[in-house]
Structure 1
Amino acid sequence: MKKEYDYLIVGSGLFGSVFAHEATKIGKKCLVIDKRNHSGGNIHCENIEGINVHKYGPHIFHTNDKKIWDYVNQFADFNHFVYSPLSFSKGKLYNLPFNMNTFYQLWGTKTPEEAKAKIEEQVAIYGFEKPKNLEEQALSIVGKDIYEQFIKEYTEKQWGRKATDLPAFIIKRIPIRFTFDNNYFNDKYQGIPIGGYNKIIENLLKNVEVKLSTNYFENKEFFENIATKIVFTGKIDEYFDYQYGKLEYRSLRFESEILETENFQGNAGINYNDSEFGYTRIVEHKHFEFGNQKKTVITKEYPENWTSEKEAYYPINDEKNQEIYLNYKKLSENLNHVIFGGRLAEYRYYDMHQVIASALHKSKIELQND
C-alpha cells in the first residue's frame, strides 16, 4: 500500500532542508518535522532590535566550491562580509588568524623572515619529535609564545580538559600566514545572507510541508509508517536507542544582552583566551550585516560539558567515541529505508558548505536510484 509521504525528513537544518528541496523539485511528497519551535537547525536567526542574532553561535558562509556558492545564492543574496576576528589575551588585542599583524603585535617582528626565525627558534627549543598530546603538538608547530598566549587556556576552556590530556590530532595543523592578512578563511567565496539565514531555509522549504515542535521519538512507530523512506539528521546513537552507549559531545551556552549603544566592540567576534573569563568569545551580531541600529546585541559563548538535556555541538572524535560510532554506522548501513545525514547522524563536524555538499550528494544518489 502506498504511504502518505515519499520521504519523512527528521530535522530541518541544512541537510534536511536541502534534501527536502531536491526531492520536492522532482515531484516527491515530503514531510519535514523538527522538535524545535523553528526551522533551520543551528543556523536559525532571531530578530532582536532589528538585528539578525545568530541564535546558536556565529555562522559565516565560506567555500571554494563555485557550485555550492551558486546553489546557496539561489535562495538569498549574500553580502561581502569577511570574518576578521580579534583575540583578547593578557590585556591586549591581537589579530587572527596568526599572521604578520599578530607577530608584530606579539614580538615586534616586521618581516616574514624575522617571524619565521622566531617560530623556528622556539620550536627547536620546545618542540617534540613525536608529540603525545595537544600541548606537545602545538609547541612543535608554533613554539612557546604563541602556544601560551593564544592556544593553551582557550583550548582548555573549549574542551574542558588540560591540554596535556587532549589528543595531539585535535590540532594536526595550525594556520600560520606570513602576510599581513586578517581574513580568517582562505576560501574564494565568503559572506552572510542579506536578511539572515532564515531566508535560505524558508526558500528551501517553500513548497514542503513542515511540522515544528514535533519530536520523532515521542511517536516513532507512527512516523516510521507514514513514509516510504526516512531521512534522519538527529543523533545516530539515539536512533538506535543507545545500544552501544552514548556518543559524547561538547556543548555551549549562550548569554545574549541588548545594549543601549550603537557599537560595543567594533568587530563581529573577539576571542577571550584567558582562563579568568568563563566565555571563549563575544559576538556582536550587527557587524555581520554592517548594521547601523541604535542598539546592539552581544552574545557571550560559554563551553560546557554535554549532557543529553543539552544541545550537542562538537563531536568528541577520540578513539573511544569513533569505535562506538562505527558500530552504529554498521547498523545504519543495514537499514535500506533510512538515510542518515548531517552533523549528528554522521558524528562529524561539518561547515555549512560541507553539509550542503553532503546533502546534494546523498539526494542525487537516492533520487537517481528511486
Structure 2
Amino acid sequence: MNILMVGAGFSCAVVARELANAGHKISIVEQRPHIAGNCHTERDGETGVMVHVYGPHIFHTDDVEVWEYVNRFSTFKPYVNRVKSTVGGSVFSLPINLHTINQFFGKTLRPDEAKAFIQAQADTSIENPRTFEEQALKFVGADLYEAFFKGYTKKQWGCEPSELPASILKRLPVRFNYNDNYFFHRFQGMPEHGYTALIEGILDHENISVRLNTAFERGMMSTFDHTFYSGPLDGYFGYSEGRLGYRTLDFERFIYDGDYQGCAVMNYGEERVPYTRITEHKHFSPWEEHEGSVCYREYSRACGVDDIPYYPIRLVEEKAMLSRYVELAESAEGVTFVGRLGTYRYLDMDVTIREALDTARDYLRALRENTRVPAFFVNPI
C-alpha cells in the first residue's frame, strides 16, 4: 500500500514505522521545519543546553512494551520529575506530600497524623464532587486548595475551577510520605540525545520519506491508498462546525549565567504572578554539565487562529462540537484520525505510542481481513 501520514510527531512516526516494517510505502508531510511535533528538542546555540522547544516532556510509563519500544531507538537516562512551587514567599514540594503538609502548616506530623489532619481540613459535606474546586476541597480542604490549586488552575485554564470537571484533579495525588517523585510509573527517563533524535530513529527506514515545510491539502490524498491524519480534527473539515477550544502557551526565554532556580520546574500558584511556571532546561539533562542556563517563563491563554494548540478544553460546548466532527469523520473515506489533535484528547507520550502501535496492528489486520478501516481506532468521545 501507498500511505500518507500527516504530521511527524509520535503518532504518525510510530504508525509509519510499523507499516513500513510490514512492507508498505509511507510518505509523511509535516508543515513545520522539523519533526517530533511539540516534543521537538534542539541544542541551544548560546549555552549548548538541550531545550524542549515547546515545553518540557518527561517520559514515564508502566507499559513494558512501550518502554522497550522507545529504548530501541534511543538510550534513556534516569530522570525523576521533582516539581517545586513558590507560594507566599516559600518554596514547597509538589505533588502535595508529607513534607509539603508539615512545612505549610508548621507541623511535624507522622504519616497517620497527617492523614487525619488533612481529613479534618477536607470538606466532608461534598459527597460526589462534580467540579475541580469541589474535588480539591474534598481532597485537601480550603487552605491547600487556595495555595496550590486555585490560582494556578485559573491561569492554566482561563476560567474558574468551579467551571472545570472534577476529573482534571485526578492527575494531582496527595501523599502521606516524603516521596516527591511527581509520577508513580515504574519506568521514567529522558532520551539521552533528545526527543527529535528519538523520532529520527523511528523514521529511519527505507520505506519512509518525510517532507518538511509542507502543509497538508486534501487533494494530496488522491494518490494514496490511505491517510493517517494527526492534525487538528476540526481543521481537516475546514472548521465547518466551528473551532474546538484549546489552551496555548507563550514562552518568555531568558539566559542565566549559572543555576537560576536549582530545579527543572518551579510552579507559581498565586494568581497575581502572571506566569504558571519557570522551566530551567539544563536540569532536564542532569547527566550533562553547562555553565549557562536556558529558562522559560510559561504563560497560558486561549488559543487563537494562528497559535499552536496545546491543551484541549473539552468542556460541554466543545464536546457537543466534537460529536459533530466525529460524525463527519466516520462518514469520510480513506482517512484515519490519530493522536492528540486528531482525536481532541490530552495524551501522555506513552499513551500516544501505545495507541499508535495498536492502530498500526489493527490497520494491518483490516487489510488482511479486507474490512473497512475506521476513522478512529480510539473513540474520541
The alpha carbon displacement at 1:205 in A equals: 1.0
The alpha carbon displacement at 1:276 in A equals: 2.1
Residue of structure 2 equivalent to 1:121: 120
Aligned residue identity for 1:209: S
Give the secondary structure class of the aligned counterpart of 1:73.
helix
Determine the C-alpha separation between the residues in 2 that align with 1:342 and 1:131.
30
Give the root-mean-square deviation of aligned CA atoms.
1.5
Determine the C-alpha separation between the residues in 2 that align with 1:212 and 1:149.
44
The alpha carbon displacement at 1:22 in A equals: 0.9
Counterparts in 2 of 1:269 and 1:116: CA distance versus 1, 3 Å: same
Counterparts in 2 of 1:202 and 1:173: CA distance versus 1, 3 Å: closer
- Structure 1, residues 258-277: CA drift from partner, whole Å, max 9, x if none? 2222x111111111111222
Residue of structure 2 equivalent to 1:43: 39
Whether the 8 Å CA contact 2:95–2:172 is kept in 1: the answer is no
Residue of structure 2 equivalent to 1:160: 158
Residue of structure 1 equivalent to 2:92: 94
Work out which of the residue numbers 268, 272, 281 in structure 2 matches 1:276. 272
Whether the 8 Å CA contact 1:254–1:299 is kept in 2: the answer is yes
Whether the 8 Å CA contact 1:141–1:174 is kept in 2: the answer is no
Aligned residue identity for 1:68: V
Residue of structure 2 equivalent to 1:300: 297
Residue of structure 1 equivalent to 2:221: 224
Residue of structure 1 equivalent to 2:12: 16
The alpha carbon displacement at 1:132 in A equals: 4.9
Whether the 8 Å CA contact 1:12–1:34 is kept in 2: the answer is yes
Counterparts in 2 of 1:60 and 1:325: CA distance versus 1, 3 Å: same
The normalised TM-score by structure 1 is 0.94
Work out which of the residue numbers 218, 236, 239 in structure 2 matches 1:242. 239
Within-5 A mapping of 1:41-190: 41-48=37-44, 49-107=47-105, 108-124=107-123, 127-172=125-170, 174-190=172-188
Aligned residue identity for 1:335: A
Within-5 A mapping of 1:189-338: 189-207=187-205, 208-217=208-217, 220-221=218-219, 223-261=220-258, 263-290=259-286, 291-338=288-335
Aligned residue identity for 1:213: N
- Structure 1, residues 279-335: CA drift from partner, whole Å, max 9, x if none? 111111111111311111111111011112111111111122112112211222233
Give the secondary structure class of the aligned counterpart of 2:339.
coil
1:26 pairs with 2:36: no
The normalised TM-score by structure 2 is 0.91
Determine the C-alpha separation between the residues in 2 that align with 1:276 and 1:339.
44
Whether the 8 Å CA contact 1:256–1:299 is kept in 2: the answer is yes
Whether the 8 Å CA contact 1:284–1:299 is kept in 2: the answer is yes
Whether the 8 Å CA contact 2:15–2:360 is kept in 1: the answer is yes
Aligned residue identity for 1:57: G
Whether the 8 Å CA contact 2:131–2:165 is kept in 1: the answer is yes
Give the secondary structure class of the aligned counterpart of 2:322.
helix
Aligned residue identity for 2:278: I
Whether the 8 Å CA contact 1:99–1:177 is kept in 2: the answer is yes
Determine the C-alpha separation between the residues in 1 that align with 2:70 and 2:180.
25
The alpha carbon displacement at 1:172 in A equals: 4.7
Determine the C-alpha separation between the residues in 2 that align with 1:365 and 1:180.
43
Whether the 8 Å CA contact 1:141–1:173 is kept in 2: the answer is no
Residue of structure 1 equivalent to 2:365: 368
Gaps of 5+ in 1: none
Aligned residue identity for 1:120: Q
Gaps of 5+ in 2: 368-381
Determine the C-alpha separation between the residues in 2 that align with 1:170 and 1:200.
30
Give the secondary structure class of the aligned counterpart of 2:17.
helix
The alpha carbon displacement at 1:165 in A equals: 3.2
Determine the C-alpha separation between the residues in 2 that align with 1:31 and 1:300.
37
Shifted more, 132-141 versus 54-63: the winner is 132-141
The alpha carbon displacement at 1:20 in A equals: 1.0
